Amino acid sequence: MQARKLGNSGLEVSALGLGCMGMSFSYAPFPEKKEVLALIAAAVEQGINFFDTAEVYGPYTNEELVGEALAPFRDKVTIATKFGFNIQDGKMIGVSSRPEHIRQVAEGSLKRLRVDVIDLFYQHRVDPNVPIEEVAGTVQELIKEGKVKYFGLSEAGANTIRRAHAVQPVSALQSEYSLWTRQHEKEIIPTIEELGIGLVAYSPLGKGFLTGKLNDTSKFAEGDIRNTLPRFTEDALKANQTLIDLLNSFAAKRNATVAQIALAWVLAQKPWIVPIPGTTKLHRLEENIGAAAIQLTEQELKEIELASSQIKIMGTRYNEHQEKATGL
């Protein structure tokens, strides 16, 4: 698999990463541990070297799982994790990026991931009670101490990104980006391009919708986050099928799957964008990896742009409470 540079910081990773959240968080039911270990090993063997987790996924269990799975490959992989939530009694209770809390999270993540240094340390969500300069300064100290290599932000606004970057260079911004989540194109993407910051695109397959495997009759298991999301109501799934029909037409021409076209589209937007689709199934992993070999032509991209611009997506990506409170 080809490598991509996340901006100008020197951080280089595989063109596709692997989002590990769903292996133990948000998308119940979860696979057996042995299946997860085998899947992550298969990802490494097939060229993926960029893995995403967070302390709040579980909490803690996802980092432990990823740490165990990647221990045999430590010198070959880049592991990203996140701080920024207050966890009490195993539950996420609001945001917290106080300097002492960031340090506490870093120490815990180092142990759970079984590493000597955290490759990429994101602020999971902006804390309105702590100046971003203070957050960036704390991570800068951790970098100087050799506990962190690169600093990242997640779902941060343009002004916040600029202020953080002025204190400690931000290597990557992780935000949701796909053919049905494009709000960051207006201000965020131009800002990070100007500053030389890479984009790590989470949910590049629209939490499964852009695989083309869901429709208005789809049901989700208890504990699946999609049961609470406006875009996954029966009416929204039915209305948004128009976007899948569009992708299907291009998939048929390229002898590819809908998911592969959706990922190829994200990869084609900028050379410094790295999508991190998550999966718990080996055949889906292999399907996603196949997308890295698909290069959409300029004409195809124009056609997708024109057609998709005429499609109105029904439903917001999160409800108002989730936008404020979740680390997804």
Q: Measure the CA angle with vertex 50, ends 161 and 278; round to 5°.
A: 90
Catalytic residue among 27, 57, 150, 318: 57
Residue 59 and residue 87 in contact, taking contact as beta carbons nearer than 8 Å: yes
Q: 149: exposed, middle or buried (C-beta count within 10 Å: 0-12, 13-18, 19+)?
A: middle
- Distance, in Å, from the CA atom of 11 to the CA atom of 78, rounded to the nearest integer, reads 9
Q: β-strands 85-88, 91-95: how paired?
A: antiparallel
Query: Could you tell me which of 235, 165, 178 has the C-alpha nearest to residue 208?
Result: 178
At 321 the three-state DSSP class reads helix
Question: Strand pairing partners for 150?
Answer: 120
- Distance, in Å, from the CA atom of 237 to the CA atom of 227, rounded to the nearest integer, reads 12
Residue 70 and residue 18 in contact, taking contact as beta carbons nearer than 8 Å: no
- Distance, in Å, from the CA atom of 76 to the CA atom of 172, rounded to the nearest integer, reads 20
Catalytic site includes residue 57: yes
Which residues are designated catalytic?
57
